[in-house]
Amino acid sequence: MPASPVKLIFDTDMGNDVDDAVALAIIHALQNRNACELLAVTLTCPHPLAPEYVAAVNTFYGRPGIPIGINTDSPSVLKPKRQFLQIAHHKNPDGSLAFPYTWDASKAPRAVDLLRRTLAAADDNSIVIAQVGFSCNLAALLDTKPDAISPLNGRDLAAKKIRFLSIMAGDFSEPKEGVKKVVEFNIRHDVPAARKLADEWPTPIIWGGFEVGNAVCYPAFGIENDFGYVPSHPVRESYQSYIPTPHERPCWDPISALYAIWPDRPYYERTPKGRVTVTPEGHTTFAEQPEGRDYCLKLDVVHAASLREIISTLASEPPKTK
């Protein structure tokens, strides 16, 4: 009997890097296969075009009704020269939107409220969250109090409803002599939230570190050749707008999204149980502990080559409605 689709929340800083767009395309492709059901998208990019862009992509894939939560207090770090969110406003020669969608900013829910509503409506231990941006939404969820949505506080609600959290954050690579490790992007721009998540999150966390995504780059030939089933495709246009081919972008976020839906596939390995610590400076360390909450993803060259092909195949899969 087929497994039930994974009930998924996608928490993303859409707009800061194009790998978020690739991850969202993969989620839609896997929903086409009944592997998952995308219940909500919550944003940790405050740009007003971020929810419009997500609405446009969701509509392109035939799912315009997926709720989108915003966080106007999340870190603002967009790179103007690598802006792809404006694709939501691209128009055809006749003046119509290239990627039609509807969005009413006045009715947009706050991300933390949408998280509470989605969790409260779910069966116990049924939700998986893929967090591929900053930790501010989930850190804020932990601090929420009982309300009209749920009699549970945020920590207890997460513990009751969430199976695990698949997160793209941190850098767990081995130190190299004479090379100073930088603080990974998703940690660096909101260290307090990342520390709170690492210290207080109540469910298992699978950490996909910088080194994991860095080992798998999206093939440029795939961007150039695999999206021709439509005249204009949001993933291809976004990628070429961000950094055009022959650049090959690392697949940090797609790997964490893929793991959230397909955790048992033989595309990656996990460390034994342990505990991740985020230092006040934002550096991440992992220590094995038999009773630990955390795991870190690991890849070898064979896994990396497989994931490169799997990610590009899924991301370019046509929508059911096209």
Domains of the chain with CATH codes: 6-315 (3.90.245.10)
pLDDT for 31? 98
Sole residue written with tokens 């009982």:
146
Note the pTM of the prediction, 2 decimals.
0.97
Q: Is the separation of the CB atoms in 24 and 60 below 8 Å?
A: no
Q: Which residues of 63-85 are buried (b: 16+ CB within 10 A; e: fewer)?
A: beebebbbbeebbebbeeeeebb
CA 99 to chain centre: 21
In this prediction, residue 79 carries a pLDDT of: 83
**Residues 141, 203: contact at Cβ < 8 Å?**
no
The confidence score (pLDDT) of residue 153 equals 98
pLDDT at 82: 82
| Amino acid 265: pLDDT | 95
Which residues in the chain come in under a pLDDT of 50?
A: 322
Question: For residue 303, what pLDDT is reported?
Answer: 95
Question: What pLDDT score was predicted for residue 2?
Answer: 61
The DSSP symbol for 107 reads G
Pick from 32, 25, 34, 27: which is nearest to 5 by CA? 34
Strand partners, 207: 167, 296
Please name the residues in contact with 50: beta carbons below 8 A apart, sequence gap of 6 or more: 14, 15, 43, 70, 85
- Model pLDDT, residue 180: 76
